[in-house]
Amino acid sequence: MPITNPNLNTTTKMRIELISTGTELLTGKANSDAAFIGDKLSRLGLELYAVTTIADRKADLSEELKRAFERSSVVITTGGLGPTFDDITVETVSECLSIGCHQDEHILQSIREYFQKRAKGEMPKINERQARIIDGAKILENRFGTAPGQMLHFNYERDGKILKKTLFVFPGPPREMQPMFEEYAEPFFKSYASRIRKNNAVRIFGLAESAVEELITPVMSAAGFGISETVDFGILASESVITVKFSVAGDDEMLVDDAMSNIKSELESVLKDNIFGYGADTLEGAVGGLLTRNKKTVSFAESCTGGLIAAKITDIAGSSAYFKSSAVTYSNEAKASVLGVKEETLKEFGAVSAETAKEMAEGVLKFAGADYGVSVTGIAGPDGGSKEKPVGTVYIGIASKKASEAYKYNFIGGRKDIRVRAANTAIDLLRRKILQDTKKQKGVK
């Protein structure tokens, strides 16, 4: 079925820009404000044109604000509203727009009461800075902190023309910013959102990001990606899991739903069993669903993953219905005594080998009385590798009551990366084995 492209409103987009201030955001702390605001706008059929993260330096912030006011109709700032010397957003905005500031007595009293009720003491004088309001701005109440937000509509001259602009100033901490955005900014943007936008994602394991892109390029082209503003795609990779996001915008919800359904169907046709879920689905959740539906159980024998697989599996509510046990057999002695791996196997082939992985899977299957036994043994590094078996060499075994197999993998990255990739690969191998067995039972080729 061809992918339909709904006839959407293609009028000029509202250009929305986010500036997040805070030196800590440039030294390792994640900018969760950007993810939250981007998601909220996307659900309204709008999008962020740009996100800038900038340090707490007035000259840099002023320069970035001027650029944003030039190119965007709505500018959002987060951060820089605290009481200390490096909280400079309000004064920088004031100077940049040549608009004055004033101290709001009502806000000042609210901050005093906040300290009396919650901090049980007098408000430090330094907090008076948080009562500074840009002239003409609407005060946005902060129910979870001391710094109010502000919304300012202002005129901006460019090329001899007077343009209408809007500025939102929010605190940086998510617990303060998020409810304020929902209460004040979301209704504002809803009034401008003339289109419906719907989002979905397919979750993939077992293919490289480049291979996924090659497979889905015809689907994206057929949907109008790169030609129409109504259809959007994105590819993200994390820990060998590939996420293909897609969205469709339009005035007619039925047409949008049809386009979304067609894109999903076309992606399924090219990606096949490499898709393990949708939206925010996880590999462990997908396996849990398969085990539950097929009334099967599983046990794990882990060496280099050190219990990571068991932790992932038991993160899923209801996993007690299908998860039997996990044996972390790190040493050769444990592999032999707990799982019954033969001493001659360990001596001849080594702990990191297909033969050992196979016997580990068979041993845990017998030990637990499960329907599936999965084993992992490998070299996670940073030491322990050799020319024949370098760091990243991992063997994964899988056994059922009918057969057992082992597979060799070569993962790259640091110790943590290798362990996570090995755990995810083991879970995916189990997923594919269950799918294969289910098809055989149904007589499907």
Q: Measured between alpha carbons, how far is 35 from 33 in angstroms, rounded to an integer?
A: 6
**What is residue 120's predicted lDDT score, i.e. its pLDDT?**
65
Reading across the β-sheet that carries 138-140, which strands appear in turn? 48-54, 16-21, 74-78, 161-170, 149-158, 138-140
Q: Name the CATH superfamily housing domain 16-190.
A: MoaB/Mog-like domain (3.40.980.10)
**What is residue 367's predicted lDDT score, i.e. its pLDDT?**
93
- Relative to beta strand 323-328, strand 372-378 is unpaired
Burial-class residue 150 by CB neighbours within 10 Å (0-12, 13-18, 19+). Answer: buried
**What is residue 90's predicted lDDT score, i.e. its pLDDT?**
97
pLDDT, mean of residues 107-114 = 91
Alpha helices in 272-353 (DSSP H): 283-294, 308-314, 332-339, 343-349
What pLDDT, in 10s, does the model give residues 195-243?
788 899 999 999 999 999 999 999 999 999 988 888 999 999 988 999 9
What is the model's pTM?
0.74
Q: Measured between alpha carbons, how far is 424 from 95 in angstroms, rounded to an integer?
A: 52
- Relative to beta strand 298-302, strand 323-328 is parallel
Q: Report which DSSP code applies to 124.
A: P
> Does residue 164 register a pLDDT over 70?
yes
What percent of the chain lies above the pLDDT cut of 70?
96
Looking at per-residue pLDDT, the higher value among 441 and 54 belongs to 54
> Does residue 364 register a pLDDT over 90?
yes
CA diameter of the chain: 86
CATH of domain 196-278: 3.30.70.2860
Q: Where are the domains of the chain?
A: 16-190, 196-278, 283-442
> Does residue 376 register a pLDDT over 60?
yes
What pLDDT, in 10s, does the model give residues 122-146?
899 999 999 999 999 999 999 999 9
> Does residue 347 register a pLDDT over 50?
yes
How would residue 445 be classed by pLDDT, with cut points 50, 70 and 90? low
> Does residue 319 register a pLDDT over 60?
yes
**What is residue 13's predicted lDDT score, i.e. its pLDDT?**
64
What pLDDT, in 10s, does the model give residues 261-293?
999 999 999 999 999 999 999 999 999 999 999
> Does residue 110 register a pLDDT over 70?
yes
Q: Which of 100-104, 113-117, 263-267, 428-432 has the lowest mean pLDDT?
A: 113-117
Q: Measured between alpha carbons, how far is 429 from 159 in angstroms, rounded to an integer?
A: 61
> Does residue 5 register a pLDDT over 70?
no
Q: How many CB atoms lie within 10 A of CB 138?
A: 14
pLDDT, mean of residues 45-62 = 92
In our burial notation (b when 16+ CB lie closer than 10 A, e otherwise), range 191-213 reads eebebbbbebbbbbbbbeeeebe
> Does residue 118 register a pLDDT over 80?
no
Geometric angle at alpha carbon 383, from 380 and 388, rounded to 5°: 80
Looking at per-residue pLDDT, the higher value among 9 and 333 belongs to 333
**What is residue 11's predicted lDDT score, i.e. its pLDDT?**
38
Fold designation for 283-442: Maf protein (3.90.950)
> Does residue 7 register a pLDDT over 80?
no
